[in-house]
Structure formats: structure tokens, C-alpha cells
Amino acid sequence: MTGVRLHPFTLLAIAGALPALAWILPAPAGAAATLAVALVLTLTPGGRPGSAGTRLSPGWRPGLAGLRTAVLTAAPFWLFLLLLHDVPTTLSIGLRITTMVASFVWLVAALEPARLVEAMVAAGWSASIAYLLAATLSAVPVLKARAQRIVEAQRCRGLSSRGGIAARLRALRALALPLVLSALHEVDERALALETRGLVPGIHRTPLAPPPDPVVERAARWVLLLACLFALIRRLM
């Protein structure tokens, strides 16, 4: 996949099909096969954290950073599975969960939210739906930073987050309330900005730079869908 940028819908189809197949195909062989594919994907250039705007972990060779993220995310599940289940069950569920984790680690690294929004608009999706996803993705880091500032400000004013449960709950209220209220006060500003830009519900916009969607990729997405359906029907029969 070096130098090739897959269409956002293709990335989503692959990341959705791998976990689906991991659960549909008989374990552990089926899940092991899907996991192998997912882990190889995390080693591709598009699967490196940082390739779609996320930060690269320091101290790791770029090619292994995606794999490392997937392994570290999945590791606790294996530990807890061993605590609760026997080895065959641990293997079956663990392989499936790791496939899901690795697929999404690859997806997050390879998928650019801006390209996804352009692709959705180009495919005729309502601009409102594209806005919901893009606006939430951009609002989360802003509100998290604000939450951190509120925590520091309240601590400067003498708020203690130590002590018993009642004291901690009081501290929680003192920290959460300003955050939520300030966020709600932004709603009017955002609504005004949307109205000014003509984003009224139900309208369709013209994408400025729609990602190319070659016939091969569109066919590949259908093949993935049909493969999942075929595997499901075969499993049920």
C-alpha cells in the first residue's frame, strides 16, 4: 500500500469486514487468519500512527508503532480472559478482540477525518451528518483541554479532590458543571456559524476535493460485503 491512498469507504469496509469475519468464521483458525491480515495492515505505511495526523510514539521504529499500539491495547483483554475463562475460550475470544483492535488501530492511523467528510459529501450524504462527525472530532480535544484548565483553576482556588466519596463527588460537581455549562453556551454560537455558512439541514454541498474512488475499490467493497454474507450463511447452515 506504499504510496496508495485508499478511499475512506474502502478503509472503513476493510476495518469492518475483518472483525466481522473474525466473529463469523470458526475459531480459532478463522480468527487467527483475520488477525494475521489485520496485523500486517498495521505494518503498512498507512497504518503507522502519525500518517493520518496522529502522533508517533517516541522510541519505536515507525514501521512497528501501529503494531505496538494494537498489541498494547489488546494485551489487557488477554489477561482478563485468562482470569475468567479456560485456554480454548481465551484463544477464541482473544483472537477476535485482537483482530478488532488491530483493524481499528490501522483505520484510525490511515483514515483522515477531512477526507472522510469529503467522501461522504461526494457520495450524497447530508452535509449535516458529515458535520456531526467532524465537529465532534474537533470539539473533543478542545473540551478536554478546557477540562484540564478548570481542574487546575479549581485546585488553585483550594478545591481538594481527595478524601471520602462524598468529598470527591462534591469536587466532581465543581469541576464538571463549569465544563458542561460553558459547552452549552457555545451551542448558539455554533448554530449561528452554521446558519451563516448555509448549512441548513437536508441540503447537499458540492465537495471541493472529493477523494478518487476507482472502480476496483468499489468492486472490492462489494466483494468484502458478499464475503461476510457468504461466511455468515455458511456458518448458520
Partner 1 sequence: MSIRLLALVPVAAAVSLALSAVVDAVALPLFLDTTGTILATALAGPAVGIATGIVTSAVNTLRNPTFWPFVVVQIIVALYAWVAARAGLFRSFRTAVPAGLGLGVIASVTSTPISYVVFGCTTTGGIALTTALGKALGLPPLGACFFGSFVSDFGDKAVTFALVTSVLHALPRRAAARFPWALRAIGAA
**What number of other Cβ atoms are within 10 A of residue 108's Cβ?**
18
Helix axes 165-196, 127-156, angle to 10 degrees: 140
Asked whether position 106 contacts partner 1 by CB under 8 A, the answer is no
Asked whether position 110 contacts partner 1 by CB under 8 A, the answer is no
Are 109 and 43 within 8 A, CB to CB?
A: no
Binding-site member from 25, 49, 117, 131 for partner 1 (CB under 8 A): 131
Asked whether position 128 contacts partner 1 by CB under 8 A, the answer is yes
- Mapping DSSP onto H, E and C, the string for 110-152 reads HCCHHHHHHHHHHCCCCHHHHHHHHHHHHHHHHHHHHHHHHHH
CA distance 33 to 21: 9
Asked whether position 165 contacts partner 1 by CB under 8 A, the answer is yes
Asked whether position 32 contacts partner 1 by CB under 8 A, the answer is no
Asked whether position 29 contacts partner 1 by CB under 8 A, the answer is no
**What number of other Cβ atoms are within 10 A of residue 44's Cβ?**
17
Q: 198, exposed or middle or buried, with CB in 10 Å at 0-12, 13-18, 19+?
A: exposed
Are 48 and 56 within 8 A, CB to CB?
A: yes
Asked whether position 61 contacts partner 1 by CB under 8 A, the answer is no
CB of 64 to partner 1, least distance (A): 20
CB of 215 to partner 1, least distance (A): 28
Nearer to partner 1, 29 or 136 (CB): 136
Asked whether position 203 contacts partner 1 by CB under 8 A, the answer is no
Q: Which three cell numbers stand for residue 45?
A: 505505511
CB of 217 to partner 1, least distance (A): 22
User: Residue numbers of the site for partner 1 (CB under 8 A)?
Assistant: 19, 23, 73, 76-77, 80-81, 83-85, 89-90, 93, 96-97, 100-101, 103-104, 107-108, 128, 131-133, 135-137, 139-140, 142-144, 146-148, 150-151, 161, 165, 168-169, 171-173, 175-177, 179-181, 183-188, 190-191, 194-195, 199-201
